[in-house]
Amino acid sequence: MIMTSNKFPFNKEKALNAVLYIARNLKRSDLHKIFKILYFSDREHLAEYGSPITGDTYIAMEAGPVPSKIYDIFKIVRGDSYMTDMEHFGELFAIEDWMYLKPKKEADLRKLSPNEKEIIDNCIRDYGSLSYDEIKEKSHDIAWRSTAKDYEIKLDDIAREAGLDNEDLEYINELRNLENALC
């Protein structure tokens, strides 16, 4: 294994704006589809630019990869979390009928780089109209299948799924270590 952990920092502001943007651009903004569009976007951005967009940790759940921190935020807004909405996420969106995200605000696109927005747009185009079963099937990739149910999907498995090789992974790891040293 080249990468030692999923230690890209979670960027809550960027992730929430990506969620709002995705939800506004889907005909049916259910949580499952939003999770999968985020996964494909993070995977593709990792392949193209050496880092994921959100920095979230993906868990191999029954229906495919689920971004852990984003799901925790959704549960806070939905009301089935042990945490309260101290950060006022409910001002950004509502969760209706347990599974549909309804934005209350527009995404702040200044929080997403042009490259990140382009990757998200491509993933919405490629996966946004797929049925539940179709997008579930596509997300059940080698990275997901290589992970025990309800465990963290390793970032190097996601990167390999995206087509990166050991040399690419070493380069990304060096950049991440340098970034962490500078912080």
pLDDT confidence of residue 169: 87
CA 83 to each of CA 69, 78, 111, 112: distance values in angstroms, whole numbers, following the listed order: 13, 11, 26, 27
φ, ψ dihedrals at 93, nearest 5°? -160, 165
Please, how many CA atoms are within 13 Å of residue 109, restricted to the half-sphere of its CB?
10
Percent of the chain with pLDDT over 70: 96
Residue 126's pLDDT band, with cuts at 50, 70 and 90, is very high
pLDDT of residue 183: 61
Q: Whole-prediction pTM value? A: 0.92
Closest CA to 46 of 154, 180, 135, 181: 154
